[in-house]
Structure 1
Amino acid sequence: MPPTLSALTLAVLLAATSAPLPAASGSATPLPVAAPDSQGMSGARLARLHDFIGGLAARGDYLGAVTLLARNGRIVDWRAYGHLDLARTRPMPRDAIFRIYSMSKTVTAVAMMTLMEEGRFALDDPVGKYLPELRAMRVHTGGPLDAPQSRPVARPLTIRHLLTHTPGFAVYGKEGQPLTLLFERAALGESRDLADYVARLAPLPLAHEPGAEFHYDGVPIQVAGRLVEVLSGMPLDVYLERRIFAPLGMRDTGFEVPLAKRARIAAMTTTGADGRLAPPAPGSIAAAGERSNPYFSGAGGLYSTAGDYARFAQMLLDGGSLDGVTILGRKTVDFMMQNQLTQLDAGVRESSPGEGFGLGGSVVLDTARRGRPGSVGQYGWSGAAGTYYTVDRQEKLVAILMTQHLPQGLPQDPPRLAVPFYNLVYQSLVQVKGP
C-alpha cells in the first residue's frame, strides 16, 4: 500500500479532481474535456487513484507516470505524477513521450485491417501468397542443433495465425534447446529491415503446426508489419503515418522522436541490485528517441503519449471513426474485439484466466474468472515497460496508464500496476452515462 500522503498533498489532489483540465504543454487537449461527475465518474473516488499513483512516485517505486481517463468521448481525468528524469529535476508533464512497446501491436493490427477492408487480402489467406519466403514452412521434429530434423506443415501458415499469435515460431522455447538456439543464431533483432527479418525467419522450423497453440510473441507481428509494406507498397512507418497517425492527429507517435521533442521523453528505469531505480545497462535499449531496432518494429517499436494513444483508443471505442475521420468500419472493429482463439486445434479459448485474444489485444470473457471488475468484451493490451490501455465499449470508457520501467524478475521489482490501476478506475464509476 502507498504511504499516507500529507494532509496538504491530499487536499491538493482532492481539489484537482474537479478542476478544469488545461491543455498539456506543447499540445492541444486530445479530446473534449468534462468534469468526471458529469460523466458518471466520482471525482472524490478518483482521488484514490491519484493517491495510489502519486504514492508510488513519492516513495520511489516508479520515477513517474501519466494517467488519462475518458468517458463518453470526454477526458475526465488526465494527470502526471513524479518526474521525467532519473535525477528528479524535471516534473513529469502530461504530454511526456513513452516507449509503448507492445501497445504497438494494436496499431499494426489496425493497419492490417485497413488493408483487409480494401480487399488486399483475406484473413485466412496463406502468408506465402504475399511473402514467398514463407510458402514452404516446416515443423521441427527433433535432431541436434547442427542437423535439425523437420517435416512439411500439414496446412499453410495464414495471416490469421500471425494476428492471433498461433503460427508456431519457436522463440518461446526453453533456454538451451536446439530449436531455441536456432532462433538465437538467426539474430532476428539485428535485421536491417523487415524484408531481411522475414528472410532470416524463413529457414527456421516451426515448433508446432500453425493454429495448434497460442504463444504470445512479437515475431508474428513483425511479419505482419512486413505484410503491410508488401500489400501497401509503402514502408511501415510511412503507412502508419499516412493512414493512422496523421488522420487521427497523433503528432507525437512514431518509431523515432524528432530532436526537438526528445526533451519530453520519459527516462527509462530498471531495478538495480540494491532494489532502487537505476538506468538500464548500456546498450540494452536504444538511446531515447532513436529507433528500437534497425527495422520498423510493428510489434514493439513505437513511441507515443497518453494523449495520442487516447485518440487512437477512442477511435476504436467509437467504432473506427473519430472527429469525422474513419480509419476502420464499425464491423471490422467489432471483429477485432472478438475472441479469436476459438480457432485453435486444442480447443483453447483463453490466453489467461477469463481473457481471450482478439486481433491486436486481449478480450475479457469472464470478469469473475479474471478476478477484477470490468466488462465482458473489454479490449486492450500493455507494453513491457509498464504502459497499459483498455477500451470498454459497455461503459464508454478509455483508461490509459504510462510508466517507463523494465522489471528484472526480482523480488525487489516495483509492484505490477495493471490490477490496482484498473480496480481504482472501475471503482470510480458511479452511474451509467450516455445512450
Structure 2
Amino acid sequence: MESLRMIEDWPVPNAATAVVRGADGAVLGAHGPQDQLFPLASVTKLLTSYAVLVAVEEGVFELDDPAGPEGSTVRHLLAHTSGLAFDEQKAMAAPGTRRLYSNAGFEVLSEALAKASGIAFADYAAEAVFAPLGMTATLINTAHRSPAGAGGLSTVTDLAKFAAELQAPRLLDPSTVTRATREIAYPGLSGVLPGFGHRRPNDWGLGFEIRSDKSPHWTGTTSSPATFGHFGQSGTFLWVDPAAGLACIALTDRDFGPWAAEAWPAFTDAVLSEVRR
C-alpha cells in the first residue's frame, strides 16, 4: 500500500505501520520495522480492556461488580465514568455522571482483576490474550509501570494479530466485542478527549474510544462514526473502522503532539482512500 509510505515523512526517529483486513485478518500492507518493540502508552488500555472482558466471560468477576470508589463498578472503570481523577485515586465526581478519562481508573481495574483471579494482572493478560493470539513480543510491565499505559510494549506484528481479533473475535463472544466497541457506555456524557480538548458528548465503549462525530479527532475526516480504538502519548495508535472493514496500527518513538494531530488524520484518510479505490 503506497499510502503507508507517508510515515517516512513523519518527524519521528522510527515508525512502523500495518493495515489489517477485517474479513480474514490478512495484512493488506505494512511499512517500517514490524518487529521493533515500541512503548504503547495508552494503546495498552485496549489490551487491558480485552483481558478484563475475557475475565468477565470466564466468570472471574462481572461488569457490575463493585470496583473503585463507592458506587463504582468494573463497567464504570472501563468506560472512564468511575469519577476517579486522571492520575490519582481521588474521586472527582459520582460514578456514571461524567466522562473523566482516568489512568488511575485502569490501575484500579487491573488490581480488581488480580484480586478476583488470584493471578497477577500482567500474567493474566499474557495467558488470556497474548499467548492465545501468538503475541510473543507483547508484555505489560506492572512492576514499575502502569497497566493504564506506560507499561505496555509491543510490535506492529503482534498488534496486527490483536487487530484481527478485534474484527473477527476468537477469544471472546462476538457479541461481547460488539457491546464493548459499538455501544456507547453511559451515553451523553461529556468530557476531555486527551490532546483534543472537551467533547460534548465524549463517547466511549468499554475501554475503547468510539469516534462518533468528534472533530477534530486523531482518526481521519473520512473515518466512519463507528470507528473505535485508542491512541497513546508515546506516538502510537490503533483504530478499527467497521464500515471500511479494516484496522490500522501505527507505532512511533516520539511523544504525541501537534505533529501527530496533523499527520495522523491525513494518513488515515489516505489509507481509507487507497483501500476504497
> Shorter-chain TM-score: what band?
0.7 to 0.9
8 Å CA contact retained: 1:115, 1:231: no
1:70 counterpart (1, 17, 20): 20
Listed one character per residue, the Cα deviations across residues 267-321 of structure 1 (whole Å, up to 9, x for unaligned) are: xxxxxxxxxxxxxxxxxxxxxxxx4x63562211110000101101110100x21
Number of the residue aligned with 2:243: 394
Seen in structure 2, the aligned counterparts of structure 1 residues 415 and 398 have a Cα distance that, compared at 3 Å, is: closer
Looking at CA atoms only, which structure, 1 or 2, has the larger radius of gyration? Answer: 1
C-alpha distance after superposition, 1:62-92 (max 9, x if no partner): 1121010122321121111xxxxxxxxxxxx
Question: Gaps spanning 5+ residues in structure 2: where?
Answer: 194-198
**In structure 2, distance between residues paired with 1:114 and 1:48:** 35
Q: How far apart in 2 are the matches of 1:295 and 1:213?
A: 30
1:18-68 Cα shifts (integer Å, max 9, x gaps): xxxxxxxxxxxxxxxxxxxxxxxxxxxx42441x32123xxxx21121010
For residues 334-373 of structure 1, the aligned pairs below 5 Å read 334-343=178-187, 347-348=188-189, 352=199, 356-366=203-213, 372-373=221-222
Summarize deviations over 1:325-357 as a string: whole Å, max 9, x none: xx11111001111343435xxx42686468621
Residue 53 of structure 1 corresponds to 7
Instruction: Verify: 1:227 aligned to 2:182, yes or no.
Output: no
Question: How far off its partner does 1:105 sit?
Answer: 0.6
SS in 1 for 2:102: coil
160 and 225 in structure 1: CA distance in 2 versus 1, 3 angstrom threshold: same
Equivalent in 144, 148, 152 of residue 302 of structure 1 = 152
How far apart, CA to CA, are the structure 2 residues paired with 1:403 and 1:170?
28
Q: Which moved more, 1:119-128 or 1:61-70?
A: 119-128
> Cα distance, 1:414 vs. partner?
3.5
1:225 deviates by 0.6
- Structure 1 distance, partners of 2:64, 2:265, is 35
| Distance apart, 1:360 and its partner CA | 1.6
SS at match of 2:139: coil
For 1:100, give the aligned amino acid. Answer: L
Are residues 314 and 74 of structure 1, via their aligned partners in 2, closer, same or farther at CA, if it must alter by over 3 Å?
A: same
**Distance in 2 separating the partners of 1:302 and 1:331:** 26
Show the 5 A alignment for 1:90-129: 93-127=33-67
TM-score under structure 1 normalisation?
0.56
- Per the alignment, residue 164 of structure 1 pairs with 79
Taking only aligned residues, the RMSD between alpha carbons, in angstroms, comes to 2.5
**Residue 208 of structure 1: how far off its partner (Å):** 1.4
Q: 2:234 aligns with which of 385, 406, 415?
A: 385
Where in structure 1 are there 5+ consecutive unaligned residues?
1-45, 81-92, 129-133, 138-155, 173-182, 184-200, 256-290, 322-326
Q: Which residue identity is paired with 2:236?
A: T
SS of equivalent to 1:359? coil
* Structure 1 residue 369, shift from structure 2 partner: 8.1
Counterpart contact for 2:67–2:108, Cα < 8 Å: no
1:219 maps to a residue whose letter is: A
Give the TM-score of the pair, scaled to structure 2: 0.86
* Larger RCO, structures 1/2 (Cα 8 Å, 6+ apart): 2
C-alpha offsets along residues 237-296 of structure 1, whole Å, 9 cap, x if unaligned?
1111111111100010013xxxxxxxxxxxxxxxxxxxxxxxxxxxxxxxxxxx4x6356
Q: How many residues align?
A: 265
In 2: Cα distance, 1:315 partner to 1:110 partner: 10
Go from structure 1 to structure 2 and tell me whether the alpha carbon gap of 1:168 and 1:380 turns closer, same or farther (over 3 Å shift). Answer: same
